[in-house]
Structure 1
Amino acid sequence: PLHPGPSREALLKSSYTQDLQQRLVELESQNRSLRQIVEGEVPKTPDSIPAAVIGRSAGDWWQQLIISRGSRDGVGKDDIVTGPGGLVGRVISVSPTSSRVLLLSDPTSRVGARVSRSRATGYVRGAMSQQVVMEFFDKMPDVKVGDVVVTSAYSQLFPSDIPIGRVVDLNLTKSPAPEVTVELTAPLDIVEWIEVYPFEPKAVDLPEQDSPLEIQVPTSDEALEDDLPQ
């Protein structure tokens, strides 16, 4: 006897179940990132160094700040700096007792990033405010308002999955690449205490693009030891 194949209804149910399972995986990933943001958590190492913000000026409020830890405390150039909610920036120069931090909001800052839900990748650049711009490699990225943005594996100066912020505006027709506006979840304008995490940048194979993921900021004249508070 002939055995009929699966009915159309059974096939639809199977497809629907697979879609739900995929959506569940995406939601669980996004929920982990959201929980990190709400609870002020970031991936940590046993060697984190707490520090106070001890210096910043009106002229470079959104660009740099000075913290109360230096080489005597184990802080080194390119170490990662986080605050309540997520990524703050990275150390660009160090004295024995203090260090200078380049903020995510600095216009020269470039950080490899991805959308947690869809894994659409690109990089985030500073815009002198609590909001930054994310530019995508893909011409049609899967992104929407409310998506969580985290550091990506393509980042040369940061490990992956550190919370950056949430998408608040879309400009997907922007040329030469689609962009979104991201509200930073670490309060860069009022942050008073931070954590420093030692990190050794690693070279990675990057997607072809016109702009680098991170720009190495010259520091020879920016932060000599006698410039920093002792």
Structure 2
Amino acid sequence: MPFKTPRKKIFLNLLLLFSGLAVLVLIYAGLKGPSRLSLGERIVLKGAGPVSKSAALGGLGLRKFWQKYLFLVGVEEENEKLRQKVSYLEAELARAKEAFYENQRLRKLLRVARDLHGQTPVVAHVVGKPLGSWQGLILIDKGLDDNILPEMPVLAYTPYGPAGVVGQVVAVERRYAKVLLLTDPSFAVDALVQRSRERGLLRGQGKELCLLDYVSAEADVRENDLIVTSGLDGIFPKGLLLGRVVKIYPGRTRGLFRPIEVKPAVDFQKLEEVLVLLRVRLK
């Protein structure tokens, strides 16, 4: 029994020694021929091959990922440049459209001016409007420097044909003027029913309505009749369009007269350019 243990140790040591020598022989045996793999090399490659392959594939995947990242960064930069270019072109298109529409409105004003003779009317842009319909005032960008004076008539284009009355100048500065609108309760103008020549006084009522007052209850007035200036107030030339009749009150609501509602010919909500008459009269 005591002799078995040292013999066993000696046997194990000899086994390890021969095994090591065998591995060395297998490895170095591959140096004899470069075209062939030795048994040792085959054993080593079989064990280390999968690990090397995984490492190589991992490196390839990382390179592809980095290339895709750089590509996407370039695409995003290009997209941002394109977005900026589109925004610029949209702004240019909006300006061109605005210029086109303004040109159309000015052409319509030119038609109005052709019906007038005397001094050339002054074209002005509306630069200030009231927030509420009860405020019957607007601000225009022409004033004393353009020979604008208080009480001068202010006109605009209307789809009815003749020049439509906007109001009259009430206050003037060098480069600006304040215009009292036709619909303001403090505005009044001598008027005629164009068809029957019945006469009355047109007053502003606010909320884009006017009242034709002092018209006889027996007067020949119908709905949709056009109302024009009479030229008898010394301010507005004769024949300027004021509006059309939208409602006639029945009976005698005010003694010998009956009031008549008139809708202005000018659309004050869309008013952007006007004509200020210096000293003119219609043909």
With structure 2 as the length reference, what TM-score do the two structures score? 0.54
More strand by share: 1
d(CA) in 2 for partners of 1:40 and 1:143? Answer: 29
d(CA) in 1 for partners of 2:157 and 2:144? Answer: 23
1:74 deviates by 1.2
d(CA) in 1 for partners of 2:197 and 2:135? Answer: 28
CA deviation map 1:2-53 (0-9, x unaligned):
xxxxxxxxxxxxxxxxxxxxxxxxxxxxxxxxxxxxx974742342000000
Pick from 182, 192, 216: which aligns with 2:272? 192
Residue in 2 that maps onto 1:129:
207
1:129 deviates by 1.9
2:214, 2:258 within 8 Å by CA — same for their partners in 1? yes
Identical aligned pairs, as a percentage?
27
**RMSD (CA atoms):** 2.2
Residue in 2 that maps onto 1:55:
128
Structure 1 residues 151, 182: closer, same or farther in 2, change over 3 A? same
Question: Structure 2: which amino acid aligns with 1:170?
Answer: I
1:149, 1:164 within 8 Å by CA — same for their partners in 2? yes
Aligned length: 163
1:1-230 equivalences under 5 Å are 41=112, 43-45=115-117, 46-59=119-132, 62-85=135-158, 86-173=164-251, 174-176=253-255, 177-199=257-279
Question: Structure 1: which amino acid aligns with 2:235?
Answer: L
With structure 1 as the length reference, what TM-score do the two structures score? 0.65
1:62 deviates by 4.2
1:60 deviates by 6.3
Q: Which has the higher contact order (CA 8 A, sep 6+)?
A: 1
Structure 1: which 5+ runs fail to align?
1-38, 201-230
More helix by share: 2
d(CA) in 2 for partners of 1:130 and 1:190? Answer: 12
Q: Counterpart of 2:232 in 1: which secondary structure?
A: coil
Highest Rg: 1 or 2? 2
Question: Structure 1: which amino acid aligns with 2:233?
Answer: S
d(CA) in 2 for partners of 1:50 and 1:146? Answer: 30
1:189 deviates by 2.4
CA deviation map 1:85-119 (0-9, x unaligned):
20000000110000000000000111110100000
Structure 1 residues 96, 61: closer, same or farther in 2, change over 3 A? farther
Q: Counterpart of 1:58 in 2: which secondary structure?
A: coil
1:192 deviates by 0.7
Question: Structure 2: which amino acid aligns with 1:129?
Answer: K
d(CA) in 2 for partners of 1:113 and 1:62? Answer: 23
Question: Structure 1: which amino acid aligns with 2:204?
Answer: G
1:140 deviates by 1.5
Structure 1 residues 146, 40: closer, same or farther in 2, change over 3 A? farther
Structure 2: which 5+ runs fail to align?
1-109, 159-163
Q: Counterpart of 2:268 in 1: which secondary structure?
A: coil
d(CA) in 1 for partners of 2:123 and 2:272? Answer: 11
2:130, 2:136 within 8 Å by CA — same for their partners in 1? no
d(CA) in 1 for partners of 2:222 and 2:135? Answer: 26
